[in-house]
Chain A
């Protein structure tokens, strides 16, 4: 293909602008990382712009030696793993049953589920429900109350519907029941859809802070995001280190906050490149289905 001069210029400008945007998307993370391993004095006086200055791991020592952060981290892992497991079980059960065209009442049951996409009771009635059930300040509450989501049910149901009925027949001929059909034929065949739905649940649970903040009062139960919110937005750590700031100090409120941010997003950044294709798939299905 022969490129005209205009096309070449267009390409250079286009690629240049895109490179700038990619850098802009990444820059805050680079800065946070660099600042977290720099001497606080250099951070606070604006000497750190891109690369770390005055390398120190004082902030990480503080973060890793902080029991509160470890506890919150463990809670987040528990809510993410346990919550996603419960979510997946419920979603698979519902999506599988609703994918069967022979199921009596299928139409009304589907409407019963999808209606919740269009009308939500709202924050306060939901809060009162959780309270009435005695789920406030419990780990069970965090896992159960957000276990299912109609959109993800529909997403998975659509994948199940794509599997031909003949495969079900063959299991049934061999004496298998519906549960066998689900576990032996359907689940292995929709692995990509399962990954998409599971990862959407997992990232929501990892990143979620609002309801954990509202529902949990016991510091031992709060997840990392709620602790981060206390550190960053409410400036809880500020006073602790405020006095100690001179050229030699290796730790300050800012650097500790940055280090905690790094620790909290590290798992996501590490696995993200490998799993992004599943999110893209989910996003496209979502756009088609609304």
Chain B
């Protein structure tokens, strides 16, 4: 997007630049910079912030290849090559965290993603505006509540002795379930929680896409005797297919980016085998165990693979539809 915008320079400007290569070019450059000095003053704190908080950490990535010592600092520590990468890939954790990350992502892709589309279609079918507004407001609401509160609600609801769910199970004459200590339940709980929290807000994109469909198409379908279900199948879904494809490809691109914020609130050593993902492993080995260098290596490995996925996903998106991320 930025590329196209910068290509559209005013014509007189590009003419100036073309004729001005050489001595005149630099005097012109200095003149322009002086003319816009106020803009550059505004940019200084802004760019400095990015340099310090975004680019300086990138320089710190080198400790992934170093035996990092706090005394010698980032630059002074000894180089050790790919040892940490080998250690990570050779360890039992590698398969575990990779498998968990991909499976949790796939759960989201197979359950939460279709739910967003279905909810959007359902909301778009509502004709009374007041009711529509209420449904939208309520289903978007959980998105704005902090993960700590959501995790808190989940843990208290699922508590073995006093939690609402177990109280209901008890009343139904069923046995108590230790939801949060049984690894087999973790992914399900996590997915349902996300389904509840994000489906509404994520449906906005699809609602907007549906609103963009030409209403004449529905009229024509009705003329041909199509019922509601057929209208949805043959008008609505094809109409929002490009949006679906782009969103789907974006989801594929972020397959390895399962966040740690919520998971570290819900998992515990008993459920690590099913709940531990790459980012939570980075958090534990780095910030809890203090293995900064090793954790940086794991994080870097993850970022690089994730970046490859995103770029590949975008390539595919460009080929399949006109829409792409950049």
Contact = CB atoms under 8 A, between A and B. Distances in A.
Contacts of A129: 52-53, 56-57, 60
A272 B138 CA distance: 10
B174 interface: no
B216 to A, nearest CB: 15
Contact of A207 (B33, B43, B53, B147): B147
Q: Summarize B's interface: helix, strand, loop or mixed.
A: helix
A129 B283 CA distance: 16
Interface string A12-46: 00110111011111101101100000000001111
A110 B152 contact: no
Given A19-B135, A93-B43, A96-B42, A123 B287 contact: yes
Interface in A1-18: 4, 6-7, 10-11, 14-15, 17-18
B266 to A, nearest CB: 8
B208 interface: yes
Contacts of B32: 102, 104
A25 B60 contact: no
Nearest to B37: A178
Contact of B57 (A22, A49, A97, A122): A122
Nearest to B74: A128
Please classify how large the interface on chain A is, using the bins under 10, 10 to 19, 20 to 34, 35 or more. Answer: 35 or more
Contacts of A209: 146-148, 261
B287 A112 contact: no
A68 interface: no
B250 to A, nearest CB: 7
B307 A118 contact: yes
A94 B225 CA distance: 55
B60 A229 contact: no
Interface stretch (B119-127, B183-191, B269-277): B119-127
B316 interface: no
Interface of B: 1-3, 5-6, 8-10, 13, 29, 32-33, 36, 38-40, 42-43, 45-47, 49-50, 52-61, 63, 74, 119, 122-123, 125-127, 131, 134-135, 137-142, 144-149, 151-153, 155-157, 161-162, 164, 167-168, 170-171, 196, 200-201, 204-205, 208, 227-229, 247, 250, 260-261, 265, 279, 282-283, 286-287, 292, 295-296, 299-300, 302-303, 307, 310, 325-326
26 contacts: A10-B229, A18-B122, A25-B142, A28-B157, A29-B141, A45-B167, A90-B49, A97-B40, A102-B32, A103-B39, A110-B6, A118-B310, A119-B58, A122-B61, A123-B295, A124-B292, A128-B57, A129-B52, A148-B46, A203-B144, A233-B152, A233-B265, A254-B162, A261-B153, A279-B201, A289-B1
Interface of A: 4, 6-7, 10-11, 14-15, 17-19, 21-26, 28-29, 31-32, 43-46, 49, 90-91, 93-94, 96-98, 100-104, 106-107, 109-114, 116, 118-129, 133, 144-145, 147-148, 150, 154, 161, 177-179, 182, 203, 206-210, 214, 225, 228-229, 231-233, 254, 257-258, 261, 264-265, 268-269, 272-273, 276, 279-280, 283-284, 287, 289-290
